[in-house]
Amino acid sequence: MPGREDPRLVHETELSPAFHDLDPMHIVWHGRYVQYLEIARSALMQRFDYDYPQMKASGYAWPIVDLHLKYVRPAEYGMKLIVRAAITEYENRLKVDYRIRDAASGKVLTKGHTIQVAVRWETGELQFVCPPVLWERLGVKPEDAA
């Protein structure tokens, strides 16, 4: 699946930075972008009825084990942002790619990805292949990921 993007596995969320998101230079503080990704990722997973409460109920935790961000341009107070989250891997791990754009101009402000792995809730055992419940919720087959 690397290099391909399934449009069914994409979601866009609109938000605006609040005053408390700003740093002393009056631009969005770099740490707030992680929260914006979390908002978009949760909205994406809610579409499949597999957000964090459903993950736990299915017997799995999905901790983030890798986070990468590339800051391209600063976001500012009150700017309308589009946060795009796209699931790009789901066979052995859950990889979500992100783009944060200025809604007015379409310019990319930030891009990045997160990687999550499945861990059995009861035992803490890492799963080296994503559990079938993820594929069922996403409506995909593991062979589609190849």
Q: What is the pTM of this model?
A: 0.92
**Average pLDDT over every residue of 85-92:** 96
DSSP class of residue 27 equals B
- The phi and psi torsions of 31 (rounded to 5 degrees) equal -70, -20
Note the pLDDT of residue 145.
Answer: 60
Cα 89 from chain centre: 12
* C-alpha triplet 137, 120, 92: angle, nearest 5°: 60
Residue 1 confidence class, pLDDT cut points 50, 70, 90: very low
**What is residue 141's predicted lDDT score, i.e. its pLDDT?**
79
Distance between CA atoms of 96 and 11, rounded to whole angstroms? Answer: 11
With a cut of 70, say whether residue 93 has pLDDT above it.
Answer: yes
How many angstroms separate the CA atoms of 70 and 50, rounded?
A: 27
pLDDT band, residue 2 (cuts 50/70/90): very low
Specify the pLDDT at position 5.
79
4: pLDDT confidence band, cut at 50, 70 and 90? low
Q: 146: pLDDT confidence band, cut at 50, 70 and 90?
A: low
Q: What is the helix (H) or strand (E) element at residue 81, kind and residue range?
A: strand 81-89
